[in-house]
Amino acid sequence: MPTTILMFDSGLGGLTVFREVAKARPDARYVYVADDAFFPYGSHGETELVARVGGLMAELIETHRPDLIVIACNTASTLVLPHLRTRFSVPFVGTVPAIKPACVLSRTKRVAVLGTEATVSREYTRALIRDFANGSEVALVGSAQLAAFAEEELNGAPVADQLIAREIAPCFIDAAGRRTDTVVLACTHYPLLLERFTRLAPWPVTFVDPAPAIARRVADLLGPPLSGEPPSPARIAFTSGRVPSLALAAALAHFGMAAAWRADLPMGCDFNAMKTALASSKPNLGGALDGERFTNGAANRSVQIHAAKRKFRPSRLADEVGSAVLRGVWRAAHAASAKRR
């Protein structure tokens, strides 16, 4: 049996971690779950997140039996990871701001930590600075927008340069004859914007991405690869059940997730109606669509999207990525909708 690694994030930022982990263990079977129905995690309280992620993780572990789980999200790692390790026996690898290596690297001893507002405001992050600053002055810079900007970038709708420049500007401090020379990317979404950060920076700095260190930790726990070939393509599931745009499909393919994506359909859903809705949406994925009506006898179904052929085919229920999770999201979404009504 191949080693199964579950990658988990609130959205698409974990792709930057997946890329490095897949290099370290190319022989593993990968399942990536993006909890985009709850994105961004920074807008939710600790109690809410612990309950949310704990519930999802229980279903994912039961469905996929992973050998290791990577929590590719700083917010989830700092708030939820201790609860997950107490509750489940599966080994977890988390993501924390790379403050220690950044302060070692810095020559000017002026470092910035660029994260979400939630990450930079937590005592956990401040404790890392106290323990590992190593004489460096560390500025905490919180952004409420960059994670969403990164998601938009992957969806083919990049925001204007000036919006990104405004978010990263506080990282660059020039005072007392010393400039910031190292910036910690304390959100896994931010390396998705690295090219733009580099181009828009007022002067050259080193951006520290924690993904390679996470990959090394995974390799330490699981050992070296057993072969150089993956047993199957990496698969991704969105808890919102959304259908990726063509731009996002291309971006996912760039990360090695070109095989399939899933969109949740509720019990008794009319597949033909869904097919018509999808065909009329923008960007238009229509043309060669085929399918069948799903009956009320099915507890849960999903659609497998083949971007290359631009087709939608009913897929086998038993082999669905995160089908149990998507059932739960569907129930929760409709309960919330009913409550609003």
Give the pair of three-digit tokens for residue 106.
Answer: 């810095």
Q: How many CB atoms lie within 10 A of CB 128?
A: 22
Give the pair of three-digit tokens for residue 47.
Answer: 């109690």
End-to-end CA distance of the chain: 48
Q: How many CB atoms lie within 10 A of CB 290?
A: 10
For residue 1, the surrounding DSSP H or E stretch is: none
> What is the rounded distance in angstroms from the CA atom of residue 19 to the CA atom of residue 257?
10
Catalytic-residue membership of 187: yes
Catalytic residue among 103, 171, 187, 269: 187
Distance of CA 305 to the CA centre of its chain: 20
User: Which residue, 80, 68, 66, 76, is CA-closest to 24?
Assistant: 68
User: Which residue, 264, 265, 261, 290, is CA-closest to 275?
Assistant: 290
Catalytic residue among 73, 103, 171, 269: 73
Strand, helix or coil at 72?
coil
**Which residues on adjacent β-strands are paired with residue 117?**
none
The reply to whether omega before 283 is within 30° of 0 (cis) is: yes
Burial of 10 (0-12, 13-18, 19+ CB in 10 A): buried
Query: What letter would DSSP give residue 236?
Result: E
| Phi–psi pair at 141, nearest 5 degrees | -125, 115
**C-alpha gyration radius of the chain:** 21
Q: How many CB atoms lie within 10 A of CB 124?
A: 14
Residues with a catalytic annotation lie at 73, 187
